[in-house]
Amino acid sequence: MRRIFLHITVFLFFVLFLFCALAMITNNIARAAPFLVCDPQTDVTHYVVIINDTTDTVKAFDLGDGKVILRYDLAGVPDGKNECLIRSKNEWGESVSVPFVFTKVLPGVLINVHIE
């Protein structure tokens, strides 16, 4: 009886592990372009991204060669003009802000949909 309980427990932990792994993979896939990026840098640990007065600090994306980049998912930004200030950061402090402006424009409504 104890052996069956042990097997069931191990099986349930395995299923839980697979579920968590799938959730993490799906979460990474669900994040889609566009991304706010920069040229590779060294000596940066984080980036401070301010979009329309909303501040977010994100960990620098490691390229694996001693260099990092900013890789900020823009999926949640509002439609229209968006004004940004971006700073790089490490344990010693922050750089000066770099301004960046972009416009999020959704596609227009389809016109004259038909079959040929």
Confidence check: pLDDT of 5 > 80:
no
Average pLDDT, the chain: 87
CA dist list (Å): 111 to 72, 105, 115, 116 = 34, 18, 13, 15
At a CB cut-off of 8 Å and minimum separation 6, what does 31 contact? 73, 75
pLDDT band per the 50, 70, 90 thresholds, residue 2: confident
58-90 tens-digit pLDDT: 999 999 999 999 999 999 899 999 999 999 999
CATH code that applies to domain 33-104: 2.60.40
Domain boundaries, the chain: 1-30, 33-104
pLDDT band per the 50, 70, 90 thresholds, residue 48: very high
pLDDT value of residue 108: 92
